[in-house]
């Protein structure tokens, strides 16, 4: 029996010829990631164990992105822990204000996430890097501490599911809609501790940004990881950012999958995930829910492609008087590109605001926390109870085009409704 791309990466990092679903393995890691919420806990564990140094200061990344710039004393203290630990350990990949970005946009941009790598991060959306053909997954802070010390961690090799996307995308349909449709189909536990492998001609035609959006939300279906086989689009993206060597893996034709699902994307239209689960998916056209706020950004949809789409919808229009529009470029590079391309003028003329790179409102941290009863359309990845603020607020997940159109209309809508 052949192996999937995920199994091949795990086998290589465990120095084994093969692995099968259910195997318990110890594997070398190529990159260990933490942020300003999760890394302080890992650093405390690391220190309490009296470990003197990390296994490799070039293979640890500490990204203070959740509360940046610091919103209060507590968040400032959290980042101070990362800053001081990074200096003491000589950690290369620590990025402070002015250089920092949302971690899952920043690391690919820096060329740190490459095909064939095994990456763990104390953040559930670490699965984003599967878009480059890496096995990447979220872990707890204690696992992060151990991995920083020894450069290894343990895994149960996950079962695999394959998702095949064929057909022609409708206007305004993106990777966000494909993954929302998929989660709506299988449910938030439909891929529990399974590898989600995305393939098909539609995936091959998606930009790297669209692929990252899909891999990013694998965890919202319970997935252990999401992964896409590297192709020319992947390699062009990687080689433009890194000169490091990497290994490209692909799934064998006789690899075993516990479930294979095919989708005709021509039947998928722009979607919205209603509160309070990402599986609660409905067509944007059928909504009409009045809203108070729109957030365009995050590790899911804060990349330059996303901002361009939003700007195109907003160009020449004004945000509804009852709506607050927040636009958050995910990194400094994206911020600079959007500025030079004139996208900021579009957002500002529409009477939206532009923030420095931050996770901010996605987790109800700052920059757009919701009050009781308020409704927000967000290009983020989660809409759980209280996710963006008050437990009685509501979050609706969408792609950037739907979010921008909804900001103008004052209610959730399909972008075609603006015509």
What's the sign of the alpha-carbon dihedral 136, 139, 143, 145?
A: positive
Q: Six-digit token pair at 35? A: 């942020």
Average pLDDT for 64-93:
95
Q: Please give the pLDDT value at position 203.
A: 97
Q: Work out the pLDDT band at 364, boundaries 50, 70, 90.
A: confident
What's the sign of the alpha-carbon dihedral 142, 145, 146, 147?
A: positive
Nearest to 212 by CA among 309, 95, 305: 305
Give the separation between CA 221 and CA 158, rounded to whole angstroms: 14
Tell me if 412 sits within 8 A of 402, measured CB to CB.
yes
Tokens 């957002």: give the residue: 347
Q: Is the pLDDT of residue 419 over 90?
A: no
5-262 shares its CATH topology with 271-418: yes
Name the CATH code of domain 5-262 (choices 3.40.50.20, 3.30.300.30, 3.40.50.920, 3.30.499.10).
3.30.499.10
Condensed to tens digits (0 to 9), the pLDDT of residues 18-39 reads: 999 999 999 999 999 999 999 9
Average pLDDT for 97-112:
96
Mean pLDDT for the chain? 96
Q: Six-digit token pair at 9? A: 């990466």
Q: Answer whether CATH 3.10.450.50 is correct for domain 271-418.
A: no
Share of the chain above pLDDT 70, in %: 100
Average pLDDT for 47-58:
94
Q: Please give the pLDDT value at position 255.
A: 96
Condensed to tens digits (0 to 9), the pLDDT of residues 289-312 reads: 999 999 999 999 999 999 999 999
Q: Is the pLDDT of residue 391 over 90?
A: yes
Condensed to tens digits (0 to 9), the pLDDT of residues 240-257 reads: 999 999 999 999 999 999
Tell me if 282 sits within 8 A of 271, measured CB to CB.
yes
Helix (H) or strand (E) run with residue 411 in it: none
263: β partners: 165
To the question of pTM greater than 0.75 for the whole model, the response is: yes
Q: Please give the pLDDT value at position 30.
A: 98
What is the domain partition of the chain in residue ranges? 5-262, 271-418
The DSSP secondary-structure symbol of 131 reads G
Give the separation between CA 129 and CA 252, rounded to whole angstroms: 21
Q: Work out the pLDDT band at 404, boundaries 50, 70, 90.
A: very high
**Rg from Cα positions in the chain:** 20
Average pLDDT for 93-100:
95
């Amino acid at each position: 029996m052949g192996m999937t791309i995920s199994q091949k990466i795990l086998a290589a990092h465990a120095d084994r010829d093969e692995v099968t679903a259910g195997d318990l393995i110890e594997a070398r890691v190529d990159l260990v990631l933490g942020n300003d919420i999760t890394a302080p806990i890992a650093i405390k564990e690391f220190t309490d164990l009296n470990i003197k140094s990390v296994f490799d200061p070039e293979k640890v990344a500490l990204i203070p992105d959740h509360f940046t710039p610091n919103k209060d004393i507590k968040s400032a203290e959290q980042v101070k822990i990362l800053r001081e630990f990074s200096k003491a350990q000589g950690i290369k990949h620590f990025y402070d204000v002015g250089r920092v970005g949302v971690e899952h946009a920043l690391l690919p941009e820096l060329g740190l996430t490459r095909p064939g790598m095994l990456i763990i991060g104390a953040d559930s959306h670490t699965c984003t890097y599967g878009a480059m053909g890496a096995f990447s997954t979220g872990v707890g802070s204690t696992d992060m501490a151990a991995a920083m010390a020894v450069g290894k961690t343990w895994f149960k090799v996950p079962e695999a599911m394959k998702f095949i996307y064929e057909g022609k995308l409708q206007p305004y349909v993106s990777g966000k809609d494909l993954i929302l449709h998929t989660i709506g189909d299988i449910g938030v536990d439909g891929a529990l501790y399974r590898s989600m492998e995305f393939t098909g001609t539609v995936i091959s035609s998606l930009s790297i940004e669209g692929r990252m959006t899909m891999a990013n939300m694998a965890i919202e279906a319970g997935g252990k990881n999401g992964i896409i086989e590297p192709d020319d689009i992947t390699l062009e993206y990687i080689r433009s950012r890194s000169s490091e060597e990497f290994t490209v893996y692909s799934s064998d034709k006789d690899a075993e999958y516990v479930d294979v699902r095919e989708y005709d994307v021509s039947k998928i239209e722009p979607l919205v995930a209603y509160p309070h689960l990402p599986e609660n998916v409905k067509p944007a056209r059928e909504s009409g829910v009045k809203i108070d706020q729109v957030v365009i950004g995050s590790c899911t949809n804060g990349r330059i492609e996303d901002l361009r789409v939003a700007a195109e919808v907003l160009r020449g229009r004004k945000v509804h008087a009852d709506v607050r529009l927040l636009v958050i470029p995910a990194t400094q590079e994206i911020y600079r590109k959007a500025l030079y391309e004139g996208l900021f003028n579009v957002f500002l003329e529409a009477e939206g605001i532009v923030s420095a790179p931050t996770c901010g409102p996605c987790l109800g941290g700052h920059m757009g926390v919701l009050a009781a009863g308020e409704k927000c359309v967000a290009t983020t990845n989660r809409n759980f109870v209280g996710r963006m603020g008050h437990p009685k607020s509501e979050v609706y997940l969408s792609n950037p085009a739907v979010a921008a159109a909804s900001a103008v209309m004052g209610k959730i809508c399909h972008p075609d409704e603006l015509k």
